[in-house]
Structure formats: structure tokens, C-alpha cells
Structure 1
Amino acid sequence: MGDDRQRACASDLLRRPPIGSFQRARRATTALIATLVVVSAAQADARGAQPLRLTAAFDRDAVLGSTTPLHLGLRVDLRSRPSPVARIAMRYPRSLGVTTSGLGLAACHRTLAEFTEVVIDGLGLAGCPRNSVMARGRALGEVRLGGEPVFREEGTVTVLAGPIHEGRMGLVGMVDGLHPVGAKLVYEGQVLPAAWPYGGALTIGVRQLPARYEAEIALDAITFSVGSDDILYHERVGGRTVAYRPGGLLLPDRCPRGGFPFDAAVTFLDGGHERAAVRVPCPRRRGRSPAAADG
């Protein structure tokens, strides 16, 4: 489909200026998403299509007993699972304290009307405090009009801490479209408890656009880093506002047997479900070589 057709469809999709911002440049995915897509496609060709694939990793220089960003990725095979994603739940190990880390010191407050509308106005964090940012990443999705795939949209992802409700941390997911439509989308989530060996689950509801748009969005791939190095917080020190990096998640002093377990459960709009799991190898201990990390 040509650029003119894409812009016309995008204009029909988003009728609320100044949200729509059409770009002439060709779509370019990020290295993380590109790697995930290429690897998934190669594995699908070798072993048959995988409906869902989960990736998880710490920084290469991660050390037990120290903090590190957590890199998570999810890839949906739209050929075997064409129905759009409706909910994502990513479970993380008990030994990683997401809610007890130095992330999410402030809360991003959004209204129920905004979560229902999905498309919102605003630049940057749309009024949310910087100290609520917990993760940053990228997403790739397929936009469909009348059930027909029209174009693929790339966007940046920001996960923010929401208000505490009944002792559970809320989450706010923001997606800023880049190519070819520059829309800001907002989704509601929560950190929920999870059974052993997991410590909790990052959950996000992926609500579809209101019916008047006559369009749906099918998530293809998402990658994000909890506690990424580009997150900056601010605090008052000696009467001045000072910027600092809150860091990632604190790794335990000892590694769980078999590595750190992660799990993803995805619910689709048609009611279907898929799961994927992965274990992250143990980082090295302080003062020891990587070969001595296991144990």
C-alpha cells in the first residue's frame, strides 16, 4: 500500500488534531524489536510458528547483589494469532523487588475517561511526574480498518507507576506513535501478586479504540527496560533540584536454582490465551568471574 493510502487511512483513524502527525520517512524498527522479530521468524521457520515468544535479560555486566535494568520483550505471531492482544501479564521472580525498588516514587494519575478513550492529548509524559517513570521501550503494532491490515505503526513505550489501590501499585502504559501516525495512547495496568516461584506480575489491559474510529490495533512486538539508564529522577538537595538515575532492580546475593524464571500470559480479544516462559542465567557474583556465577 502506498504512502498516500497510508496517510488517508491514518487521517480517518485519528480525527482529533493535533494528535495526528504524518511522517514521510519510511518505517524503521528499533534494534531490539528488529532482533526479536528476526530471531522469532527464524525459529518459526525452523520449528513451526510460535504464537508467543518471551525474552528477558539483565545487563551484560550485571552482578549479584547489585542493581541492574531488566530487559523484557514479547513477540506475537499475528499469522497464528490474528486476534488483537487484550491483556498482558508478565510474572517476574520473587527475588526481584519491583515495587520495593527505587522506581515509581511518584504516581501518574489518569482518569477512567482517558483509559476508555485510549487516545489522549499531551506532549511528553502528558502531565505525569518524571519520578513515576519505571520503564522505557518500543512497540510495533498492526493497524486494521474494516478487519484489513492497513499499515504497521511503531511507537515508544513508557511505563509509569500509578496510584496505590488496596495495597497494589497501579501502572500506566503510554505509547507515543512515531510512524506513520503520531498518536498518544494510554492503557491501565497494575502490579499483582503471583504464586511461587514468582513475586509479582506486571499486568496491562490493551483496550481497543472506541467504535467510532472503526479501527483496531493488533500488538506485534514490545520491548521495554525496567530501570533503564535513560530514566532520570529529581530530588531536592540543599535547596536545589538535583537530577539522578534511580537505577534498576536489586539482584539477590544468591541466584535461584536454574536461573531467574519469567513468564508471560496473554489474553486475546477473541478470548484465546497463550503463555511463554524463559529463565535468565545467573549473573556473576561480586569479585568472581562469570564462569563462577552459577550456584
Structure 2
Amino acid sequence: MDTDKHDTPDSTPPTTVDALELLRALVRIPSPNPPGDTQAIAAFIAERMRAAGCQVSTPAPEVKPEAINVIATIGSGDPVIMLHAHIDTVPIAVTEAGHWRVDPYAAEIKEGKLYGKGSIDDKAPLAAMMAVLIEAAQVADQLRGTLVLVAAAEEEVGGQLGTRWLADNGHLPQSDFIVVGEQTDNRVATAHKGVMRATVRAQGHSVHATNPDRGVNAITAMARAVLALEQYHRDLAARVHPMVGVPTCNVGVITGGSTANAVPDACEVK
């Protein structure tokens, strides 16, 4: 991607876009996943990119129409450079909420730092990429190549109805170069870890808690499995990859039992 070097004497450089204000606006639009409703933030992005002069589409899968993606394009021809970021964030956990000392959706700036849910993952890279396209659109006639912004939904839950769905359904162009915006301490990362999500279930036998030995406690059984997974996580530390570090294992959710006075007959971890 380049601009025409043979500018006329009257050509003026593009007006600089305030990426910080873009970021603050993005943070102020909650987009937690789950539930993964990106309608509000997608509408904001689409409006800003259309106003800049980009061609914009907002595809969404039929099975989850509220998971809207935004694809903005400026320029034409080769090379095609894609800038990719996601618009959903992890939700604010129940126990996390009390630890916030600012409104997580106010995008407050204190001592030179912006605080807000999703401010790093992934709305800061998204704001920077939006600013690039908005500025490029001001000199669209000088561009030699195509810039594509993909603001994808569903990344926080695996991307099957986000980037994977976009690719499988022909919404993404063949690209010569792709920049994926994630938190890398401003260092170029050329590889990243994959992910495997698993659900483990323990089955027990429920009896009244006054005589628990007559039953089989599924939570107690699962506790042994959780401890084994914790040991597995520690063992993985010995498997160091030169580019992406060490693999990890995390138990993120546990559910089981129905009442305190009964032996639980089922327990599940993810």
C-alpha cells in the first residue's frame, strides 16, 4: 500500500484523526461476549467509516443476527492489506465488578492512562486501524492498492460465528498482507498459541446429605480432576516454544449440585 509519489503542488496531507477519542467512543459502547450483541458498536463503526468515504458492509450470521461484523474498504487493486480487530470483549465478572475504581465504560483518563473494559483487547488496535482508513480515505485518489478493515464479532468465544463465518461465506477478500490487532506490547508477533476448549463432566449418585456415604459425590470427584488439570498446567511449563512461550491450561467455569442438603449427582467444568 502506498500513495502516489507524484503529488501535485496543491495536494494537502490528510487531516490527522484523533485515535484516542475514537477509542474512548468505542469503550463507551459495551460489547460483552457473552451475550455477544454487537449491534450498537457495529453501527457506530459503520457510520464513521461510511462518513469517511469507505465502502461498508455489515454481515451477520443467520443463526446469531445480533453478532454483526463490519467490513470497510478504501482503494482498489493490489496489494490488498487487511487490518483485523474484534469488537466484542469479555464480560465483567460478578466478582470483578467490585474491583473497578472507575466506571468500566466511561473511558476515563488518569495519569496518562485510559481505563475501560476492552480498552486494550481489542478496542485500542481497532481505533488505530479505523484512524488509518479514515485518513487514507482523505487521499483515496492517491492510493495504490486496497485497504480493508475487518471489525469482527464473536472473537471472545472462538470466532466460529465471527472471522471463521466471514471467511467461509466469502465476505473476506484474498489479501496480500494481514495485520491482526492484539495486545503484544507494540511488538510484532508472527505466531500465536492455538486454543482447545473442553467440557469435563462427572456423574455421581444423589442421596440426602444426612447419609452421604450412600451416594457418589460428583463435585468431590471433579475436585480430583481439577487438581489433576492444575498439575498438568504446571507440567506444561517445561514445554517452551521459541516464539509463543509455554502452553497453558485453565479451568474457567465450574457448576454442580442443586442444594446444600443433597449429594450432587453431576458436576461440570469448562
TM range (shorter): under 0.3
* Structure (1 or 2) with the greater strand fraction: 1
**So what's the TM-score if we normalise by structure 2?**
0.23
Compare relative contact order (CA 8 Å, sep 6+) and give the higher one, 1 or 2.
Answer: 1
Question: Highest CA radius of gyration, 1 or 2?
Answer: 2
